[in-house]
Structure 1
Amino acid sequence: MFDHTKQQSDTLRLTRRPAADRGRANFGWLKSVHSFSFGQYYDESHMGFGNLRVINDDLVAGGMGFGEHPHRNAEIFSYVMGGALEHKDSMGNGSVVSAGGVQYMSAGSGVTHSEFNPSKTDEMRFLQVWLLPEVENTKPAYDTINLSTADKDGQLKLFLSRDGRDGSMKSQADASVYAATLDGGQTITTILKEGRKGWLQVADGTLHVNGLDLLKGDGLAIEGAGTLTFDQGENAEFLFFDLAL
């Protein structure tokens, strides 16, 4: 369920999605936590948020992974938190993305791919996110980006957008996706405009958003318009989504 604790600023409405309330799956080699309905976890009140459909926090054992499987009409990215992620697909792409990197796939009219942990011994953690495209059945595409520590340090780093601005990867979804780290006395402010909605996902650590305390794994649904202030971070790393309504 969503936490009933809400904060308001300007016309903003902030609703916390507590980490402990997410869906969970344990397959031995894979431990996954679902912010929205996925696989065997179904909750009609958590089917997504705007055009954000999936956020899975996945921990994959050494030498294991997801065998070849198909996707259509989904914008999918993997934000690697620890270890490395090896990808192969029917477009002929093959890559290994390490912690700090992001891989992106626009499934469009159809693509098959596989994802594996190339280490035989070390676990690999990543956030897998699905967004809905504005137009279906487009030509599939693949891209990667590496985000340095400095890129995210105390600031929102854009890495995925509809128009590919500021060196970000270009997506078919009407969404701008940012990564940031926050610690000590650092503060980040941004404005959510009218006609948009936002989601924040805490990947690590803790922080405050407009005075609301967020913990590792928490999500935050943001509706309305106004100024967002991120502060009081303790080893915090998070994703911020500026989404279509």
Structure 2
Amino acid sequence: MRYIRRADERGRVDFGWLQSRHSFSFGHYYDPAHMGFSVLRVINDDVVAAGRGFDTHGHRDMEIISYVVSGSLAHKDSTGTDGIIPAGDIQRMSAGKGIMHSEYNPSETDTANFLQIWILPQHRGIAPSYAQRTISQNGSVTPLITPDGSNGTLSINQDMSLFRVFLQDNQSQSFSTHARWGYLHVINGSLDIDGSIYRAGDAIGLSEEDTITITASQTAEALWFDLPPG
């Protein structure tokens, strides 16, 4: 059975400086029907006001991915990392046995939009680590994160992979899960899936032995998660 998550049905949080839409239960938003999908636990679509951000706080035993859609983020953590994540970069932070970090929007004028993604770890209590990379798009589907960090991707402490999808108008792409699960989250543009239109913030999850073909009704960007069975 497929899991459909529409953008306007997501949880909404408004802190003034932060506007966030939660695909799954998180913080002030709780819905037992939406607690995650396989090892995918969080997708928060965050818009951060100029000069504002998340003060230093801690995490344990979580794989945390940041994908900056527009603007940039300044990141600092207890591993000694201190730098900027620009739009299009992919960042992975393994919280492991404990990490402290902060993120803020360094711009004095423009908002920053990023996807905060949490993946449940395969192994607990590992040493915390940080990795960030600019990965150029190569065709319609480009791997960003893989379990072993092969072919220039970032590695992650879980049996999952993350791909960036770019389709031009009327271009199509198929995804098959085989013995695994899959989850497609639309970042921008418009996609036709089985006669239904999916726009920014919409998502569809697939279980084993399923296939979808997506067609861009206008230029579209999305993330495809290859996940272990839930």
Tell me the TM-score normalised to structure 2 length: 0.95
Give the letter aligned to residue 226 of structure 2.
D
1:14 CA displacement = 3.0
Unaligned 5+ segments in structure 1 are 1-12
| Map of 2:202 onto structure 1 | 218
- The 1-side partners of 2:226 and 2:94 are apart by 18
Alignment partners' CA distance in 2, 1:76 and 1:174: 14
- 1:200 is aligned to 2:188: no
Deviation at 1:152, TM superposition (A): 5.5
Q: 1:53-68 residue pairs with structure 2 within 5 A? A: 53-68=41-56
Specify which of 17, 25, 31 is matched with residue 19 of structure 2.
31
Q: Which residue of 2 aligns with 1:235?
A: 219
Aligned AA for 1:39?
G
Paired residues, number: 229
Q: 1:180 to 1:216 in 2, by over 3 A?
A: same
Where does residue 45 of structure 1 map in the other structure? 33
Residue aligning to 1:130:
118
Aligned equivalent of 1:105, options 80, 85, 93? 93
SS of corresponding position for 1:39: coil
Partner Cα distance (2:78, 2:105) in 1: 19
1:146 counterpart residue number? 134
- Larger mean Cα displacement after TM superposition, 125-134 or 209-218: 209-218
C-alpha distance after superposition, 1:143-170 (max 9, x if no partner): 111133xx165x1111111111221100
2:59 corresponds in structure 1 to 71
> How far apart in 1 are the matches of 2:194 and 2:141?
16
Identity of aligned residues (%): 43
Deviation at 1:233, TM superposition (A): 3.8
Tell me the residue number matched to 2:149: 164
Deviation sequence 1:197-245 (CA, Å, 0-9, x none): 1111111111023444212111111112143322134121110001011
Partners of 2:177 and 2:211 within 8 A in 1: yes
* Residues in 1 aligned to 2:103 and 2:158: alpha-carbon distance in whole angstroms: 22
User: Displacement of 1:48 after TM fit?
Assistant: 0.4
User: Is the Cα contact below 8 Å between 2:170 and 2:218 reproduced in 1?
Assistant: no
Question: Is the 8 Å Cα contact of residues 192 and 228 (structure 1) preserved in structure 2?
Answer: no
Kept in 2, the 8 Å contact 1:152–1:180? The answer is no
1:185 paired to 2:170:
yes
**Distance (whole Å) between structure 2 residues aligned to residue 221 and residue 189 of structure 1:** 14
Deviation at 1:24, TM superposition (A): 0.4
Q: State the SS of the aligned residue for 1:166.
A: helix
Q: Partners of 2:65 and 2:143 in 1: how far apart?
A: 14
- 1:94 aligned onto 2:78: no
Whole-Å separation in 1 of the counterparts to 2:226 and 2:212? 12
What amino acid is aligned across from residue 186 of structure 1 in structure 2?
Answer: Q
Deviation at 1:97, TM superposition (A): 1.1
Change (3 A) 1:19 1:234: same
- CA distance 1:22–1:123, change in 2 (3 Å): same
Distance 2:138 2:182 in 1: 19
Greater mean deviation of Cα atoms: 78-87 or 158-167: 158-167
Conservation of the 8 A alpha-carbon contact between 2:166 and 2:222:
yes
Q: Secondary structure at the match of 2:151?
A: helix
Structure 2 spans left out of the alignment, 5+ residues: none
Q: Which amino acid aligns with 2:166?
A: T
